[in-house]
Chains A and B, each alone.
Chain A
Amino acid sequence: MIAIGPEPIDVAAMIAAVGSPAYGAICTFLGTTRETSPGDDRPVEALEYEAYVELARADFESIAAEARERYGPLRIAIAHRTGRVALGEASVGIAVGSPHRGAAFDACEFAINTLKARAPIWKRETYRDGGTAWIANTPS
């Protein structure tokens, strides 16, 4: 399951999409919007995400395929918000179902790290003083 759009992250739907009677583990990760950026103490008022949706969707599919190559049989759901996201809300969600918890934890971490490193999605912070900045991810 892949979702890219303005709707809130639907964790219950993601969990339902990756579960299986053959699996004994589901690992979820939510990235939530924070009121400050590292190295910048200006309070953030709002965050907006922009995506190259077609390419991001293909990239999420490829992250899921790479995770299966590395960690064996598993199901992955990846969701990312676009547009304005209120502080404290989830902007990204990953759910991984797998036979055992080790692979679920590992694949979940791999998926979020890979997404942050390369997926064509951008974040703009608007500060309470009215300024804005596009924030690039730093290597994990």
Chain B
Amino acid sequence: MALRVLAFARLRELLGFGERSLDVGSSATLEDIWTSLTASSPEAVRMRASTRFARNGVIVDGATRVADGDEIALLPPVGGG
């Protein structure tokens, strides 16, 4: 399955992309995708507890399974205002 993954702010810097495509297996969850994308960044791994996931513009939890064509977003702690 092909996904589009968005990363913002500090996660964008640590993971080295703001947007990329990603091929994953058919039963992948968001937690699986997080684990795979952050494997080479200990700082990103430490941000897991404060990071939220969005799937197609809706906030969801890590157990959520993805579907072909999904837009996944990795959202670190927000700082708007």
Contact = CB atoms under 8 A, between A and B. Distances in A.
Q: Do A and B bind each other?
A: yes
A38 to B, nearest CB: 12
A122 B57 contact: no
B80 A92 contact: yes
Interface residues of B, number: 16
Given A134-B76, A137-B77, A124 B9 contact: yes
Nearest to A112: B81
Interface in A84-125: 91-92, 112, 115-124
Contacts of B81: 31, 80, 91-92, 112, 115-116, 121, 137
Q: Contact size class for A?
A: 20 to 34
Contact of B57 (A55, A115, A117, A123): A55
A116 B73 contact: no
Interface centre among B54, B57, B75, B79 (most CB of A within 10 A): B79
Contacts of A122: 8-10, 76, 78-80
A50 B77 contact: no
B57 A134 contact: no
Given A122-B8, A124-B9, A52 B80 contact: no
Nearest to A49: B80
Nearest to A56: B80
Given A58-B57, A136-B76, 6 more contacts: A50-B9, A55-B54, A55-B73, A92-B80, A120-B8, A137-B81
13 contacts: A52-B75, A55-B54, A56-B80, A80-B81, A91-B81, A116-B78, A116-B80, A117-B78, A119-B80, A122-B78, A123-B80, A134-B79, A137-B81
Interface of A: 31, 49-52, 54-56, 58, 80, 91-92, 112, 115-124, 134-137
Interface of B: 6, 8-10, 12, 50, 54, 57, 73, 75-81
